[in-house]
Amino acid sequence: MVIEKICCIGAGYVGGPTCSVLAYKCPNIKVTVCDRSKERIEQWNSPKLPIYEPGLDEIVKECRGRNLFFTTDLDPAIIEADLIFISVNTPTKTFGIGKGRAADLKFVEACSRKIASLSSGRKIVVEKSTVPVHAADSIINILTANTRPGVEFQVLSNPEFLAEGTAVQDLLNPDRVLIGGEQSDAGRQAVEDLCWVYQHWISRDKIITTNTWSSELSKLVANAFLAQRISSINAISALCEATGADVSEVAQATGMDSRIGSKFLQASVGFGGSCFQKDLLNLVYISECLKLTEVASYWQKVIDMNEYQKSRFAARIVERLFNTITDKTITILGFAFKKNTGDTRESPAIYVCKYLLEEGANLHIYDPKVEPKQMMTDLTSPMVSVDPEKVRELVKIYDDPYSAAAGAHAIVICTEWDEFVRLDYQKIYDTMLKPAFLFDGRKIVDHESVLEIGFHVETIGKRV
């Protein structure tokens, strides 16, 4: 079947950029991205997109209104589509069975029911969201239980591997595209149809086809392996601090072994983002349900190490500031979970702020891309504080780093934004209270030069 019309349900960090690049590379395909959030769709249709990704504005500008459309009007988009991506959020469950660990598939299920109720003819339904193994079973069940004569569905798994901050580059030039499908003639045909879409810009040898369950599991495994590398190097960072070794040197020496590789060995305050923890918890939960206790506890340790790293860093700030930070002013540089995104989901900065607020510190926060409203929403959430009023008193948000640092006892770098490497630290030092402390949670500052200025410096994985 020739794919002429694609619908994507979910205009988030995945649905938006993925479909924008798809529309850009396939001008002959009409791509309609739908979301139930009116605000999000209005932003996608405005000059200021709801998410910041380098290179995305240009692509959306070129395609929007040509073959790329953003709408809340889901029904007609589903009805006309040959292929439908389900790209909705799959957060960790907050209540009921599997609370705090299992993935909540209620949004995926809602999409499946909607698709079942509106479809006629042949449709390919693609799981783009990250889901537990065998989630496709539930989608197939819902579709077939509600199907009408003449309707034929194929369900594929096509997980997304983009990283935020580099989404456009990752989508234009992916390491691989993974498509899982049913091992039947109709299943194989649907896989080929989706391959055809990707082959508009990706060579066939980079497109891997597998059975559905391998595809679903591979996505969880890829994230688990990436997170495991970060927890491994973070564990070593504690060892470096205790022994006088330098974690950057250890990472370089270790990563140059081509069997190990150098990527994802950057020790940090801890990993954040909406997916690593969620997908690890999901893997742990699946393993437990299958009575694979050792497997579950092995992967749980990756999360435990991340918690340890975040709390170790936050505790060090208090300890170095003479064990009391009540009424002291601490400047937080960076609130996003990594550079080049405005996303704050599971950001280690939130954890650090929570810890410092509990100790009664005043926080001055600056981030080049995170909206002040988002920071306040995060910091006044019940997960962070039971007293949102108190948080509003203690937190001030700034739109430049120099004003944020003026009069502070300490600066804490939580996100590795390039602009923090290039700041005039002499100018900052001059306006701070003395002794002035710099806690570099990302190892991005030239420590020799800030020491020379007069800062007391603390970083990850190295005695300064």
- State the residues that interact with ligand NAD by CB under 6 A: 9-15, 34-37, 40, 87-90, 107, 110-111, 129-130, 160, 162, 164, 274-275
d(CA 141, CA 116): 10
Q: Which residue's CB is nearer to ligand NAD, number 55 or number 454?
A: 55
Which residue is closest to ligand NAD by CB? 12
Is 282 near ligand UGA (CB under 6 A)?
no
Compute and round to an integer the Cα radius of gyration of the chain. 24
Position among 299, 337, 425, 437 found at the interface with ligand UGA (CB under 6 A): 337
Is 164 near ligand UGA (CB under 6 A)?
yes
Angle value at C-alpha 273, between 269 and 279, nearest 5 degrees: 110
Say if CB 46 and CB 200 are below 8 A apart.
no
Is 350 near ligand UGA (CB under 6 A)?
no
CB atoms near residue 277 (< 10 Å)? 21
Catalytic residue among 7, 19, 26, 275: 275
Helices (H) and strands (E) in the chain, counts: 19, 14
d(CA 438, CA 430): 13
Q: N- to C-terminal Cα distance for the chain?
A: 62
Contacts of ligand UGA in 205-264 (CB under 6 A): 223, 226, 230, 264
Q: Which residue's CB is nearer to ligand NAD, number 83 or number 391?
A: 83
Q: Which residue's CB is nearer to ligand NAD, number 90 or number 309?
A: 90
CB atoms near residue 326 (< 10 Å)? 9
> Going by DSSP bridges, is the β-strand pair 5-9/83-86 parallel, antiparallel, or unpaired?
parallel
Q: Which residue's CB is nearer to ligand NAD, number 67 or number 87?
A: 87
Position among 18, 67, 87, 130 found at the interface with ligand UGA (CB under 6 A): 130
34 is annotated as an active-site residue: no
Position among 112, 154, 157, 266 found at the interface with ligand UGA (CB under 6 A): 266
Is 420 near ligand UGA (CB under 6 A)?
no
Is 338 near ligand UGA (CB under 6 A)?
yes
- Least separation in angstroms between residue 378's CB and ligand NAD is 15
Tokens of 49: 């997109």
Q: Which residue's CB is nearer to ligand UGA, number 230 or number 395?
A: 230
Q: Which residue's CB is nearer to ligand UGA, number 142 or number 165?
A: 165
Say if CB 210 and CB 218 are below 8 A apart.
yes
* C-alpha closest to that of 394 among 353, 444, 357: 357
- Least separation in angstroms between residue 149's CB and ligand NAD is 26
d(CA 118, CA 78): 7
- Length of the chain in residues, anyone? 464
- Least separation in angstroms between residue 80's CB and ligand UGA is 29
d(CA 161, CA 163): 7
Q: DSSP alpha helices (H): ranges in 26-105?
A: 38-44, 56-63, 74-80
Chain centroid, CA 455 distance in Å:
33
State the binding string over 142-161 for ligand UGA (x if CB under 6 A, else -).
------------------xx
Q: Which residues contact ligand UGA by CB under 6 A?
A: 130, 160-164, 223, 226, 230, 264-266, 268, 271-273, 275-276, 337-338
Show which residues are catalytic: 275
